[in-house]
Structure 1
Amino acid sequence: MSAEIVQFLEQAGPYLTAALSAYGAGVLTRTETAAVDATANVGRRILQAVWRRRDEQGRAELESVVGEAAEEPGDEDVFASLRYQIKKALREEASFVRELNALLPERPNVSITATGERSIAAEKIHIAITGDSATIRQS
Structure 2
Amino acid sequence: MSAEIVQLVEQAGPYLSAAVGAYGVAVLSRAEGAAVEAATEATAGLGRRILQLVWRRRDEDGQAALEAAVQEAAEEPADEDAAAALRQQIKRALREHAGLVEELARLLPARGETVQVTASGERAIAAKSIGIAISGDNATVKP
TM (normalized to structure 2)? 0.72
Note the C-alpha offset of 1:109: 5.4
Matched ranges for 1:1-139 at <5 A: 1-32=1-32, 34-35=37-38, 37-108=41-112
Larger Rg, first or second structure (1 or 2)? 1
How many corresponding residue pairs?
A: 110
Q: In structure 2, list runs of 5 or more residues that go unmatched.
A: 115-143
Cα RMSD for the two superposed structures: 1.6
The runs of 4+ residues in structure 1 deviating greater than 2 Å are: 106-110
Q: 1:69 to 1:109 in 2, by over 3 A?
A: closer
1:67-104 per-position Cα deviation (integer Å, ceiling 9, x unaligned)? 11000001111111111111111001232111111111
Judged with a 3 Å threshold, the aligned counterparts in structure 2 of structure 1 residues 37 and 109 are, in CA distance, closer, same or farther, namely closer
d(CA) in 2 for partners of 1:39, 1:19 = 7
Structure 1 length-normalised TM? 0.73
Distance 1:93 1:13 in 2: 19
In structure 1, runs of 5+ residues without a counterpart are 111-139
Compare relative contact order (CA 8 Å, sep 6+) and give the higher one, 1 or 2. Answer: 2
